[in-house]
Structure 1
Amino acid sequence: MSRRTPRIALDRLRTPRRIPKFLKAASICVLVAGLLSPVTQVAAADTSAAAAGDYCGGQCSDILPPGENGNATLAQILLNQAFGTQPDHAEDQLAPYGNLPSGYSALTDAKINNFFNDASFGVASDQVASTTKPGGRSDVTIVRDKKTGVPHITGTTRYGTEYGAGYAAAQDRLWLMDVFRHVGRGQLTSFAGGAPSNQGLEQEFWRNAPYTEADLQAQIDSAIANNGARGQQALADANAYIEGINAYIDASDSGRYFPGEYVLTGHKDSITNAGTIDHFKLTDLVALASVIGALFGSGGGGEVNNALSLIAAQSKYGVTEGTKVWESFRERNDPEAVLTVHNGESFPYASKPDSPQGAALPDAGSVTQEPLVYDRTGSAATAGATGASATAAATTLTSAKRGMSNALVVSGKHTASGHPIAVFGPQTGYFAPQLLMLQEIQGPGLSARGASFAGLSMYVELGRGQDYSWSATTSGQDIIDTYAVELCQDDYHYLYHGTCTAMDKVERTNSWKPTTADSTAAGSYRMQVYRTKYGPVEYRATAGGKKVAYTTLRSSFLHEADSIIGFQMLNDPDYVKSPQTFQSAVQHINYTFNWFYADSTHTAYYNSGDNPVRATGVDAEFPVWAQAAYEWRNWNPATNTADYTAASAHPNSVDQDYYISWNNKQAKDYTTASWGDGSVHRGNLLEDRVKKLVAAGGVTRASLVKAMADAALADLRAEDVLPKLLRVINSSTVTDTTAAAAVGKLSAWVTAGAKRTETSAGSKAYANADAIRILDAWWPLLVKAEFEPGLGSDLFTAFTSNLPTDEPPSSAHGPTGAHAGSSFQYGWWSYVDKDIRAVLGEPVQGGLEKSYCGSGSLSACRDTLISTLKEAAGKTAAQVYPGDDQCSAGDQWCADSIVQRTLGGIKHGKITWQNRPTYQQVVEYTSHR
């Protein structure tokens, strides 16, 4: 499968073989009568869900495309594929979400819910679509509203409430939940077929969390044992949630309204109903959590790649000068970086040590990646086979993993009402069904509405309580370290504290047959990971002439389930009552997230994650020797626990004038694992707009949404770097006609606002289309021409392995992939910005160690820019946008467009590009308890 077609094999579901061949598309309706509507959904004329205490005053809104309903019967899937029809509530949130780019400029507070949903608690009596008593229970009711079909779960007992949450989750996401419990176990191909994309998906996650069933159970035991009464309550909640899921499985099976994908993948028979849908169990929830933790909450790693680029720099320039060059590109603590905590407070973490100790850099040319895939005989898979699955892995869920999230929060001191305002949410990628689901949950000790990952929705994970809202962005601080374990005896033994110790081999064997979902031939393979006390083996090499295995140790390894306590607290109205109690709650979440909070009076921020306390002198950027002197402080390999930095040492704040976050640097001296936290970062798109609003005062919900939406359409390169490039070019008269014409178009685009917007709503054509095409073609050419001559090809290539040069919306080659929405997180914009400013003679803080564009000469740099600009201007739209399975070559709008990547049988239409959270809240509380 091409990198330009980032689809999962599950998106190729077709009519099952058991459906008679004479059944034509127009005849599919025969199947509809008994299959479209679950029998448990009973229309209710005059029933209403009583709203719990709601202090938002009708000023809380949210949105989650494409729609709440992520389950479809076989008949609904066949109708969708034949006629494009949609099940109820499958895509009713897609159009409002997709219309914001054309409607935001005229936005007012009164119009916000044209583009968002009312997120008030409860359902008005005239808006009740259905009422369900799941499993016939009297202690819980699920009410769904007419507009969105979101479940509003109200229970009179804690058990019944959680039972209802599980039932509602299965109603909306059963197939997706089943897919991801298999992904977490590395068993997707056995479940859904052996397409390369399915192989890649299970390999991507299982390599990072190669857990046995005993490991999964141990996480449950640990989370309970270490958390007292809350741990016991979490266990009871999870058990009730599981019972609700299984009750729906049984009801939908007997009623024959289970998801149609089970027929299309051979698990159920469409005629006889033979086959089973396996019940869920507690360890499935941990397997699901391991996937979500790997996607969003495990910052760090990459130490071997860092070492390789450092070696290349030292080879090019010598040890001393090469190290300086490397550090200037790494930008660990760039003084020009946009910060979330911008009041000057310092939070040192993972800083460069004065006297580095224990570094274990590989010998040049010795690094090889540890094989993961083997055939049934035990031989490592061929390069062709591993290449196919690696490509699939890189393009399946990378929009979720790389998409990240953003937040805009303004203190009441600067708003028109005097109450804080927040516009925030996770940018989790675009899928059908969506990875997240919406719900309201009200019961003893539970009061919240918002989004949760499917299969983990016993609590709302991102959303609102009675008088507060919270959200998160991925933070990326380094909780993963790489250790060089010295080998002894053979390649599968290593020295642990002086004793030759056998590695543990963890295996997973998968076999599959052809299914109607995928035409891949029958096959099988085995995945194999060697685990040490220092984590799984990722690379092998020599270091100082000694044979070593490089392992990755992360603090959340074997501890994904621990975060359940923090989410439980966030849903507890008796616990979260203030910024301080909010911060206390999220301190129990070991995923690497930035957390934001707003109520009617206060705002707050906290950076979560188990940040290990490293030994003195250890540089977190590079591999270190697996020796006691360089281990995490008080590390216990049996439990993978250690000393962690104190809560006060994590970036945190209450009532700062405003907060912005778009996966940028958190605070002064706080080093993240991400390259690119420099002078130009997509966080600047929010910073510039929010700072201007705050300076003017009188911020409203509409003005903050407009700031977000405006940033969501901005081309970061065009807004923050292109004007400086044009100043270099225009330092003398441009005489070449091709270059002059290109400069004119680019200048006009900058003057117009440097955004990628349609000529009119629904036109599917960009204003300033030529300028956009020219910049898309020019950026990679100018970066290469600007830096490669000075760095040399080896070092330039090594640095691009640390940080790709570009990530525009149309990019199929970048970390996020095509049609993914999220853009401009990864690129060389800061390097170009600093280098060009130096050429222009402007002041630069934290500049690059050397000058690159024209070796610092303005005229030579200008020549380089003009020559590459001419080349770019000559590229046709078809060359710049070559087309894929979604778009024809040359279709610029389509190349940028957002596609809901199918994880099931239902497909949706494209929407115009925008760079914003997938689930998003707009909140302004009017009062407080």
Structure 2
Amino acid sequence: MPRCTPRTTLDRLRTPRRFPKFLKAVSICVLVAGLLTPVTQAAAAGGTAGIAANDYCGGRCSDILPPGENGNATLAQILLNQVFGTQPDHAEDQLGPYSNLAAGYSTLTDDKINTFFNDASFGVASDQVASTTRPGGRTDVTIVRDKKSGVPHITGTTRYGTEYGAGFAAAQDRLWLMDVFRHVGRGQLTSFAGGAPSNQGLEQEFWRNAPYTEADLQAQIDSATANAGARGTQALADANAYLDGINAYIDASDSGRYFPGEYVLTGHKDAITNAGTIDHFKLTDLVALASVIGALFGSGGGGEVNNALSLLAAQSQYGVTEGTRVWESFRERNDPEAVLTVHNGESFPYATKPDTAQGEALPDAGSVAQEPLVYDRTGSAGTAKATGASATAAATTLTSAKRGMSNALVVSGEATASGHPIAVFGPQTGYFAPQLLMLQEIQGPGLSARGASFAGLSMYVELGRGQDYSWSATTSGQDIIDTYAVELCQDDFHYLYHGTCTAMDKVERSNSWKPTTADGTAAGSYRMQVYRTKYGPVEYRATVGGKKVAYTTLRSSYMHEADSIIGFQMLNDPDYVKSPATFQSAVQHINYTFNWFYADSAHTAYYNSGDNPVRASGVDAEFPVWAQAPYEWQNWDPATNTAAYTPASAHPNSTDQDYYISWNNKQAKDYTTAPWGDGSVHRGNLLEDRVKKLVAAGGVTRSSLTRAMADAALADLRAEDVLPKLLQVVRSSPVTDTTAAAAVTKLSDWVTAGARRKETSAGSKTYGNADAIRILDAWWPLLVKAEFTPGLGTDLYTAFTANLPVDESPSAAHGPTGAHAGSSFQYGWWSYVDKDIRAVLGRPVQGGLAQKYCGGGSLSACRDILISTLKTASGLTAAQVYPGDDQCSAGDQWCADSIVQRALGGIKHGRITWQNRPTYQQVVEYTSHR
């Protein structure tokens, strides 16, 4: 008899071409009773749920979250998907509408919005009830799922029952993903799912930033609940009820044999005998999950060592004074031309450059080495060899979520046709199968909300709507992470803390895995180790002025990932959030670095959250400082990792501004954010330009604001905001070269047509202006290097590209986001090229670069550089520009851009056309208020 329990890895599940061989070993498994249909989701006859009376949106709230609500699949469903492409119910039904907006937005009207979105009204009409479940046989909670999208609508008569239902529904939809993430957060994914390089990369990427012990996880729970009074007590009770619901589903699915099939494919369960277990969830699992989410989306800052290395390179190239000036011009830490979310001129100084820096601990040239994380285990604990198991592997998975960002378009009622505010907003959390987020509606005592939550953390809706208000977030990235140079003493594992030689704390995580039967992955094991200090984990080793130091990373949310639960609880409480002021008060309790947006029937609001530490006077947040008392955060307590934080009034905030846009751009005047590249050209400009025009014209509608978002989602930032100036330089004299002239014509025609990467027709899989797009994709990295390398020198150019990559086009597998990830144009040298070319053209530039680089400032020499690189780019074939990968043939431009739902389980989905927009998105306009 074929064996039905082969161990595989997540990598094995991500490789559909291997499944036919695998099927020979498991084909009998499809006959196992109960694998196809979970009994808890059987359709209920005569469901009676109706539209809720507490809904003040008037049918004008919509949302979307691809690929689909159902993220669990039985073994049989996985095998059928891999062989025949069939999808479990509601696994993919939001992917098509999401994708189709790219072709349909230009003719969008308000009455067509729900062609591309879900109706996000509270409740389910009686004729739309697909199933009704009373989880665990309880009488105090009901889960109703709708026919269109299968979203769980959880209604409870007790608080405990409501949260129990939320946990049960989460496990119904995302049990496997939740299990993956609790192991990622503990650095134990390979022991759970196999030793594929991608699995190793995942656990390494996150465990380095949050190397918590079980005691650390429990301490976070104790701290978060003890310091929040009655709300903390309630949060703990909610979490325990939520866990009870998850575990009830685990038990039910085990006895009913409809648990996710990945447990069979990874050897945790036997499809024939049902032997094996799925471990219950516990409170510390939720903190492990939160640590991953916090690292992905809510922990801005860091990079001080890389900043120091590029500063040293600049000073080596130009001398200290001029090198520092050059460095500052590229850093653009407070660029006057940057697009702002709070654009009324109000200043919110934070992390600004001090007049005279104090306590800087810049490394000696050539002394910096990254602290090893991963070691081989060769039998002897004393003989460990550092390995390179794959920062690159992680880039093919969750790195796209880390870099994939979010946007918001919010317009005040003064500019809308109805007089009510309108918002189109959502987080960009990457594209995964199953999706990291899940949809739900939750109604119970003290709870009333619908929207998206991260799987395993859905005791509350984290982004969505309440009874008469909606809220959303974008990643803000302000600096809550600092690097300290701890002076070593005695040996490499002791350091000076306030004059006392103190031992570092070594935390280890060992992983081992058995061989797989299908893909040939050998058995293996390795360990990770992190040395921790009172100033955080060690990240680098170096010397400073000849003294041996360890560079540590200290962030304000370290050991505090659980604290934000209170803010989310408030957002779900209809008795708490009733106005812009109470909304802002709620999100002040969230210590992650987010931009928060709010809209109700009369008002809009914005607030930037995060525990921003108050730094010692004279400390420059851009560079490492000595780990000494005078340079520590004010009131910092290493035992609890708490400090003095900037007051709420110092955070960028606003109420009823004419409009707000955010695409991870600069928040406000004088607010220094961590990312490089917040300059004159940023993808936030794509929203700013469109929304500003709409507001100036007035009469904004839900459909017109959605059209603005969708149009920006197809725009090539380089082509829209920089290419016209490049072409002006090229055309400053007649273009006599035939190759260059042909390229210029194609590029100009594309700009005239709107500079979009858009299909010729829906589903054509061919772009209009395809040659122009190919030319710019090839030209941009060539022109940037040729423009800046002669002036900067190779070493400094390389150092600056380590701070900020030159390009992030949709097809750029080499960029921070990686291939097929959707989110594009966040990181690139758009601003540098824009400022430099304007300077060469003789146009005014505020906050310009320290020098003119293109052609040394000569227009004719700059023109020669651009024409030369343009000719080279024009000669590159599509196959050279788009070399192909495991998804696409070489030369397939549309496919190279296309979005892939990256598999974190056994179900795969088709590619969709590129569009640069949030993963989860709301379109809202409230008609009344309580």
TM class, shorter-length: over 0.9
Mark the CA change 1:382 to 1:879 in structure 2 (over 3 Å): closer, same or farther.
farther
- Give the direction of change, closer, same or farther, for the CA distance of 1:336–1:499 in structure 2 (3 Å limit): same
List per-residue Cα deviations over 1:731-774 (Å, max 9, x = no partner): 10000000000000000000000000011110001110000000
Q: Report how far residue 387 of structure 1 moved.
A: 3.2
Return the alpha-carbon distance in structure 1 between the equivalents of residues 26 and 142 of structure 2.
Answer: 38
The Cα shift of 1:375 comes to 2.0
Does structure 1 conserve the Cα–Cα contact (< 8 Å) formed by 2:29 and 2:272?
no
**Residues in 2 aligned to 1:924 and 1:605: alpha-carbon distance in whole angstroms:** 17
Inter-partner Cα distance in structure 1 for 2:911 and 2:4: 16
Deviation at 1:396, TM superposition (A): 1.9
SS state of the match for residue 889, structure 2? coil
Match of 2:410 in 1: 409
Instruction: Say whether the 8 Å CA contact 1:8–1:903 is kept in structure 2.
Output: no
In the alignment, is the contact (CA less than 8 A) between 2:4 and 2:270 conserved in 1? no
Q: Deviations over 1:777-807 (max 9, x none)?
A: 0000000000001000000000000000000
Secondary structure of the residue that 1:20 maps to in structure 2? helix
Q: Is the 8 A contact 1:166 1:241 kept in 2?
A: yes
Aligned equivalents of 1:547, 1:4: Cα separation in 2: 55
Contact in 2 for aligned 1:411/1:656 (Cα 8 Å) = yes
1:393 deviates by: 2.3
Which residue does 1:875 correspond to in 2? 876
Q: How many Å separate the matches in 2 of 1:637 and 1:345? A: 35
Distance 1:543 1:200 in 2: 31
The structure-2 alpha-carbon separation of the partners of 1:3 and 1:479, relative to structure 1 and needing over 3 Å to count, comes to farther
Q: CA deviation at 1:270?
A: 1.0
- Deviations for 1:634-666, whole angstroms, at most 9, x for unmatched residues? 000000000000000000000000000000000
Q: Distance in 1 between matches of 2:3 and 2:701?
A: 42
Please tell me whether the aligned partners of residues 4 and 264 of structure 2 are also in contact (alpha carbons under 8 angstroms): no
Change (3 A) 1:389 1:29: closer
**Which aligned pairs between 1:616-635 and structure 2 lie closer than 5 A?**
616-635=617-636
Where does residue 274 of structure 1 map in the other structure? 275
Provide, for residues 78-105 of structure 1, a one-character-per-residue CA deviation record: whole Å limited to 9, x for no partner: 1001100000000000000000010000
Q: Is the 8 A contact 1:431 1:901 kept in 2?
A: yes
Q: What SS does the aligned partner of 1:43 have?
A: coil
Name the counterpart of 1:349. Answer: 350
Aligned residues of 1:19 and 1:270 also touching (Cα < 8 A): no
Q: Give the whole-Å Cα distance in 2 for the aligned partners of 1:380 and 1:717.
A: 52
| Deviation by residue 1:53-97 (Cα, 9 ceiling, x = unmatched) | 000000000000000000000010010011000000000000000
User: 1:861–1:262: structure 2 CA closer, same or farther, 3 Å change rule?
Assistant: same
8 Å CA contact 1:16–1:263 kept in 2: the answer is no
Deviation, structure 1 residue 303: 0.0
Deviation string, structure 1 residues 837-891 (Cα, Å, up to 9, x no partner): 0010100000000010001000000000000000000000000000000000000
Q: Tell me the CA shift for residue 139 of structure 1.
A: 0.2
Give the direction of change, closer, same or farther, for the CA distance of 1:380–1:836 in structure 2 (3 Å limit). Answer: farther
Taking structure 1 as reference, are residues 366 and 27 closer, same or farther at Cα in structure 2, changes over 3 Å only? closer
Contact 1:15–1:78 (CA<8 Å) still a contact in 2?
Answer: no
Give every structure 1 segment of 4 or more consecutive aligned residues whose post-TM-superposition deviation is greater than 6 Å: 1-8, 14-29, 378-385
Structure 2: distance between partners of 1:852 and 1:215: 51
In structure 1, distance between residues paired with 2:501 and 2:586: 43
Measure, in 1, the Cα distance between the counterparts of 2:15 and 2:100. 33
Is the 2:505–2:531 Cα contact (8 Å) retained in structure 1?
yes
Task: Answer whether contact 1:264 1:515 (CA < 8 A) is retained.
Answer: no
Please tell me whether the aligned partners of residues 184 and 206 of structure 1 are also in contact (alpha carbons under 8 angstroms): yes
Native 8 Å contact 2:6 2:265 kept in 1: no
In 1, Cα distance between the equivalents of 2:246 and 2:663?
35
The 1-side partners of 2:399 and 2:565 are apart by 25
Change (3 A) 1:7 1:413: farther
Provide the C-alpha distance between the structure 1 equivalents of 2:383 and 2:875, rounded to a whole number of angstroms. 40
* 2:378 and 2:384 in contact (8 A); partners too: no
Residue 253 of structure 1: CA displacement? 0.2
2 CA distance for matches of 1:632 and 1:906? 47
| Unaligned residue ranges in structure 2 (runs of 5+) | none
Moved more, 31-40 or 409-418: 31-40
Pairwise CA distance, 1:52 = 4.6
| Cα deviation 1:228-250 (Å, max 9, x = unaligned) | 00000000000000000000000
How far does residue 44 in structure 1 lie from its aligned partner after superposition? 2.0
1:495-644 mapped onto 2 (5 Å cutoff): 495-515=496-516, 519-644=520-645
CA RMSD of aligned residues (A): 3.2
TM-score w.r.t. the length of structure 1 is 0.97
Shift of 1:395: 3.0
Q: Alpha-carbon deviation of 1:515?
A: 3.3
Gaps of 5+ in 1: none
* Distance (Å, rounded) in 2 between the aligned partners of 1:19 and 1:484: 50
Task: Report the alpha carbon displacement of residue 394 of structure 1 after superposing the two structures with TM.
Answer: 2.9
Q: Residues 635 and 644 from structure 1, CA distance in 2 versus in 1: closer, same or farther, beyond 3 angstroms?
A: same
| 1:518 positional shift | 5.3
Structure 1 pair 748/50, CA: closer, same or farther in 2 (3 Å)?
closer
SS of the equivalent of 1:34 reads coil
Contact 1:776 1:808 in 2 (8 A): yes
Q: Given that residues 884 and 891 in structure 2 are in contact (C-alpha distance below 8 angstroms), is that contact kept between their aligned partners in structure 1?
A: yes
Alpha carbons 2:19, 2:82 under 8 Å: kept = no
Contact 2:498 2:629 survives alignment (8 Å): yes
Distance change >3 Å, CA 214–CA 26, structure 1 → 2: closer
Alpha-carbon distance change, 249 to 576 in structure 1, aligned in 2, over 3 angstroms = same
Whether the 8 Å contact between 2:51 and 2:121 is mirrored in structure 1 is no
CA contact (8 A) 2:364 2:542 kept: yes
- Matches of 1:919 and 1:907 in 2, distance apart? 19
CA contact (8 A) 2:374 2:389 kept: no
- Superposition deviation, residue 294 in structure 1: 0.1
Shift in alpha-carbon separation, 1:7–1:580, aligned structure 2, 3 A: farther
Q: Is the 8 A contact 1:308 1:798 kept in 2?
A: yes
Distance in 1 between residues matched to 2:25 and 2:522, nearest whole Å: 27
CA distance, structure 2, for counterparts of residue 869 and residue 508 of structure 1 = 51
The 3 A distance-change label for structure 1 pair 415 and 23 is: closer
| CA deviation profile, 1:210-237 (whole Å, cap 9, x unmatched) | 0000000000000011000000000000
Map of 1:822-837 to 2, 5 A cutoff?
822-837=823-838
Shift, 1:31, TM fit: 2.6
Task: Please report how far the alpha carbon of residue 478 of structure 1 lies from its aligned counterpart in structure 2 after TM superposition.
Answer: 0.1
Q: What is the CA–CA distance in structure 2 between the aligned matches of 1:3 and 1:423, rounded to whole Å? A: 51
Contact residue 4 and residue 29 of structure 2 kept, 8 A = no
Q: Aligned with 1:885: secondary structure?
A: coil
- Cα offset for 1:15? 12
**Does the CA-based 8 Å contact 1:476-1:593 persist in structure 2?**
yes
Question: Retained in 2: the 8 A contact 1:141–1:153?
Answer: yes
How far apart in 1 are the matches of 2:745 and 2:28?
56
Indicate if the aligned counterparts of 2:42 and 2:131 stay in contact, CA closer than 8 A: yes
Contact 1:482 1:551 survives alignment (8 Å)? yes
Aligned residues: 928
Distance verdict in 2 for CA 1:123–1:727, change over 3 Å:
same
Rounded to whole Å, the distance in 2 between the matches of 1:137 and 1:689 is: 51
**Partner deviation per Cα, 1:671-717 (whole Å, 9 max, x = no partner):** 00000000000000000000000000000000000000000000000
- 2:423 is paired with a residue whose SS is strand
Q: Check whether the contact 1:450–1:462 (CA below 8 A) recurs between aligned residues.
A: yes
TM-score (norm 2): 0.97
Cα deviation, 1:577-631, whole Å, max 9, x if unaligned, reads: 0000000000000000000000000000000000000000000000000000000
Q: Which residue of 1 aligns with 2:693?
A: 692
Displacement of 1:382 in angstroms is: 12
Q: Deviations over 1:153-197 (max 9, x none)?
A: 000000000000000000000000000000000000000000111
With over 3 angstroms needed to count, the CA separation of the structure-2 counterparts of 1:4 and 1:840, relative to structure 1, is farther
Distance 1:323 1:21, change over 3 A: closer
In 1: Cα distance, 2:245 partner to 2:183 partner: 20
Distance 1:22-1:518 versus aligned 2 partners, 3 A rule? closer
CA change 1:487–1:713 in 2 (3 A) is: same
1:36 Cα deviation (Å)?
A: 1.4
Alignment of 1:373-452 (within 5 A): 373-377=374-378, 386-452=387-453
Task: Give the 3 Å change call, closer, same or farther, for CA 259–16 of structure 1 in structure 2.
Answer: farther
Partner of 2:149: 148
Deviations along 1:252-276, one digit per CA (max 9) or x if unpaired, are 0000000000000000001100000
**Is the CA contact (8 Å cut-off) linking 1:217 and 1:283 kept in structure 2?**
yes
Once residues 381 and 853 of structure 1 are traced to their aligned partners in structure 2, the CA distance between those partners, rounded to angstroms, is 54
Q: Matches of 1:3 and 1:184 in 2, distance apart?
A: 32
Work out the CA distance in 2 between the residues paired with 1:602 and 1:538: 45
Change (3 A) 1:584 1:16: closer
Tell me the percent identity. 90
